[in-house]
Every structure is written in structure tokens, then in C-alpha cells.
Amino acid sequence: MQISRTTGGTFYRAQDHSQLSRALAHLPTAFTIVRKHVDLAAWFAAGGGLLIAAAVALSLWWNRARRRPAPATGADP
């Protein structure tokens, strides 16, 4: 009951079959369908851009110039 007051909805109390039938009969007229268009293209583009950036970074890291270790001298101290 408190939820219906807070949200501006309607509360139905049914203690038997006839009260429940009356309450359920009112439900189809009480619903309002709200359709909201959400554009997801920007999220997919951002995800693709992050994947491309990660691929470029990994490619540069993998193909980096590596230093060869200095040759060991024959004498140990």
C-alpha cells in the first residue's frame, strides 16, 4: 500500500475470489506502456574504438625493439 502511494499507483486488497476478480478486471485499463528509444550505436562505437586502441598498443608492444643482453665476459670475480 505504501509503494502505491509513493509511486502514484493504485492498491487493491482482495480477500476472496470475487474481490480478486474485480481487481484483476481493472488491471488492463490501469497499465500505460511507455516506449523509450535508446541509441546504442555510440556505445558500440566506443567499445570498438577501445578494442582498436588495445590492439594497436599490444601490436606496438609485441613488435618493440628488444635489447640483446651484453655478452658475458670470461672471467668471474
Question: Which positions ≥6 away from 67 have C-beta within 8 Å?
Answer: none
Q: How far apart are CA 12 and CA 27, in angstroms?
A: 10
Please give the helix or strand (H or E) that residue 70 lies within, else none.
Answer: none
CB 4 within 8 A of CB 11: yes
pTM: 0.43
Query: What pLDDT sits at residue 5?
Result: 78
pLDDT by 10s per residue, the chain, length 77: 678 778 877 777 788 888 888 878 877 666 677 889 989 999 999 999 999 999 999 999 998 877 787 777 765 55
